[in-house]
């Protein structure tokens, strides 16, 4: 076969294979939704069930929910005896419902089964993908909306949040519902509202989403709405479009949703909730580096290229097209969503990678719209940036396997096919960009992102047993040949240990750990290396008789240091 004919055959095969998938999905909304749910599940489920509780935020949220289930108090939020008033109650209620459902379906030890607590995050992440599609339909074609939603489904940061039992994935879904409704109100004169979203439907979605977002994470959703709406009002010098959201009855409905719990917690805690959530959590993040998470402005711009990979790779090529359309009402709304919020987050002293996640859907829609209009810049120096589609799988794939070898002394053979497959797809996305275009290259990079998720979340992290001491301790307690084991821990005070070992786990120092063992019975003391000398000294003073310790060597990723743990027990606990 002549070379030209062979090249044409290969191109036709690539076109049929990739175009058929997208063409099939965009034939109807039902197909598009089905495809997005399937892709999101494939992207988010690797590691969802296998990864142990992650310190510190996930374990804190899960433990607070577990204590609600244990006490039956679904108003107060506590971690052991300490109040946990940094966030409102919404995520705890959702997690408690998931655990209750798990118990009803017969899940063994449901209250210490971390994946049950992750179900709201998984649902929120899938909801965010679907709501990205729904929101994008206001601005771009169905094909571009599907592409924007796929960009979110395979984005690195959302993949992490989908597997983590905390607020951010569900918050993203609530923000998208509110912004999608607000966009429809703002652009109503450009594109009629779809059937079923006229009259009270849009206000109901908007104000309900606002209420859910407030119950999840306080005023953050309000910040996004106010910054976007305020910017549009200032630029357009008109706020008439906001009347479509029925503000007066909407505020009443919002109060009905959020005030009952706030009144209940205020009656129980007085001003402590406001002082903790607003004073110590919100304001301290604005003006100081909370928990050593400070960073200078520009932090999110640097992280963006990884956290929003693979779609971020096309950002610079899409920028000229976005700039050309900046005065159009759709682009104006999306830019009002992105720019003010991004500036605020860059100025806030405390910075964490997931804070800017609610901005990513707007960026995905802009990028997808520019792709759909064939307006991507073609300057060679910009197109060279598509090599990032290849280098990220190389960095993440090789780095994770090397980390597994160093930390867990395993070569992780099961991860290799996924990592290599991701590298090959990333290479094709880069090298075939000119031949096949941006859409097909982005789809290949999205597939590479899914394979990387299989490698890292599905194989590498679950295999890193030295990084999860709490799971080892819990397993040791379950294997104890005595009834009702009790634990005190000196030095190693991670929330995951409290979640897995029990709410009554005592956080003590070395000497108190020895005293804890003195009464005998089914008691255990976990002692970190620096505290072991104090433990042994006190044990010698009180004449404590204990069994030879079982030892664990590993790493505490929360503190960034190697740890050596010894699990002691009284002799009669054997």
Structure tokens at 69: 């289930």
Structure tokens at 327: 């005065």
Mean pLDDT of 55-76: 97
Structure tokens at 423: 């590298």
Strand order of the β-sheet with 486-490 is 506-508, 486-490, 523-528, 561-569, 550-556
CB atoms within 10 A of CB 542: 12
> For residues 347 and 295, what is the distance between their CA atoms, to the nearest angstrom?
9
Mapping DSSP to helix (H, G, I), strand (E, B) and coil, where does residue 174 land? helix
Cβ 219 vs Cβ 282: under 8 Å: yes
pLDDT tens string 89-111: 999 999 999 999 999 999 999 99
Angle in degrees, CA 321, 325, 330, rounded to 5: 120
Q: Cis check for the bond before 56: say yes or no (omega within 30 of 0).
A: yes
| Topology annotation, domain 468-573 | D-Maltodextrin-Binding Protein; domain 2 (3.40.190)
> For residues 413 and 417, what is the distance between their CA atoms, to the nearest angstrom?
8
Confidence of residue 178 (pLDDT cuts 50, 70, 90): very high
> For residues 180 and 562, what is the distance between their CA atoms, to the nearest angstrom?
46
Confidence of residue 22 (pLDDT cuts 50, 70, 90): confident
12 CA to centre of own chain: 38
N- to C-terminal Cα distance for the chain? 76
> For residues 146 and 33, what is the distance between their CA atoms, to the nearest angstrom?
9
Confidence (pTM): 0.94
> For residues 126 and 120, what is the distance between their CA atoms, to the nearest angstrom?
10
Residue 194: predicted pLDDT: 45
> For residues 447 and 454, what is the distance between their CA atoms, to the nearest angstrom?
11
Q: Which residues of 280-305 are buried (b: 16+ CB within 10 A; e: fewer)?
A: ebbeebeeeebeeeebeeebbeebbb
Spatial CA neighbour of 371 closest among 160, 173, 204, 141 = 141
> For residues 68 and 93, what is the distance between their CA atoms, to the nearest angstrom?
9
> For residues 291 and 280, what is the distance between their CA atoms, to the nearest angstrom?
12
Domain-by-domain residue ranges, the chain?
7-372, 380-462, 468-573
Cβ 268 vs Cβ 377: under 8 Å: no
pLDDT tens string 419-467: 999 999 999 999 999 999 999 999 999 999 999 999 999 999 999 999 9
pLDDT tens string 390-419: 999 999 999 999 999 999 999 999 999 999
């Amino acid at each position: 076969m002549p070379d030209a004919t062979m090249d044409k055959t290969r191109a036709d095969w690539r076109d049929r294979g990739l175009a058929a998938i997208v063409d099939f999905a965009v034939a109807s909304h039902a197909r598009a939704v089905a495809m997005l749910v399937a892709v999101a599940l494939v992207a988010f489920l690797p590691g969802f069930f296998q990864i142990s509780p992650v310190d510190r935020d996930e374990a804190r949220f899960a433990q607070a929910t577990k204590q609600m289930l244990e006490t039956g108090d679904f108003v107060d939020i506590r971690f052991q005896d300490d109040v946990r008033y940094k966030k409102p109650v919404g995520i705890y209620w959702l997690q408690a419902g998931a655990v209750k459902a798990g118990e009803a379906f017969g899940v063994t030890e449901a209250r210490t089964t971390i994946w049950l607590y992750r179900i709201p995050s998984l649902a929120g992440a899938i909801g965010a993908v679907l709501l990205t599609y729904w929101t994008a339909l206001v601005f771009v074609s169905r094909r571009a909306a599907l592409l924007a939603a796929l960009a979110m489904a395979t984005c690195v940061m959302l993949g992490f949040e989908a597997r983590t039992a905390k607020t951010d994935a569900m918050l993203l879904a609530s923000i998208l519902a509110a912004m999608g409704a607000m966009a429809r109100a703002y652009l109503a004169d450009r594109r009629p509202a779809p059937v079923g979203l006229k009259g009270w439907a849009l206000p109901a979605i908007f104000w309900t989403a606002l209420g859910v977002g407030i119950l999840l994470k306080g005023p953050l959703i309000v910040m996004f709405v106010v910054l976007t709406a305020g910017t549009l009002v200032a630029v357009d010098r008109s706020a008439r479009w906001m009347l479509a959201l029925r503000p007066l009855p909407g505020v009443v409905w919002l109060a009905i949703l959020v005030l009952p719990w706030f009144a209940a917690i205020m009656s129980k805690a007085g001003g402590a909730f406001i002082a903790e959530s607003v004073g110590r959590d919100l304001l301290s993040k604005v003006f100081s580096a909370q928990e050593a998470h400070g960073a200078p402005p520009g932090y999110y711009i640097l992280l963006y290229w990884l956290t929003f990979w693979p779609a971020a790779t096309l950002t610079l090529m899409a920028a000229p097209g976005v700039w050309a359309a900046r005065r159009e009402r759709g682009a104006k709304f999306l830019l009002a969503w992105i720019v003010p919020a991004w500036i605020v987050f860059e100025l806030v002293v405390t910075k964490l990678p997931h804070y800017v996640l609610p901005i990513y859907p707007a960026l995905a829609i802009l990028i997808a719209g520019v792709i759909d209009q064939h307006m991507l810049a073609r300057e060679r120096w910009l197109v060279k940036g598509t090599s990032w589609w290849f280098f990220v799988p190389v960095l993440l794939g090789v780095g994770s396997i090397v980390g597994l070898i160093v930390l867990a002394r395993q070569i992780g053979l099961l991860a290799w096919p996924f990592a290599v497959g991701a590298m090959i797809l990333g290479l094709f996305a880069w090298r075939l960009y000119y031949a096949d275009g941006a859409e097909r290259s982005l789809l290949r990079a999205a597939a590479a992102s899914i394979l990387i998720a299989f490698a890292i979340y599905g194989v590498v992290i679950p295999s890193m047993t030295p990084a999860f001491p709490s799971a080892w301790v819990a397993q040791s307690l379950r294997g104890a040949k005595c009834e009702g084991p009790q634990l005190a821990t000196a030095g190693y005070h991670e929330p995951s240990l409290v979640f897995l070992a029990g709410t009554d786990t005592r956080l003590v120092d070395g000497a108190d750990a020895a005293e804890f063992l003195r009464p005998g019975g089914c008691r255990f003391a976990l002692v970190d290396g620096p505290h072991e000398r104090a433990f042994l000294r006190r044990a010698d003073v009180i004449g404590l008789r204990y069994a030879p310790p079982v030892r664990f060597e590993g790493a505490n990723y929360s503190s960034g240091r190697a740890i050596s743990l010894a699990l002691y027990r009284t002799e009669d606990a054997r």
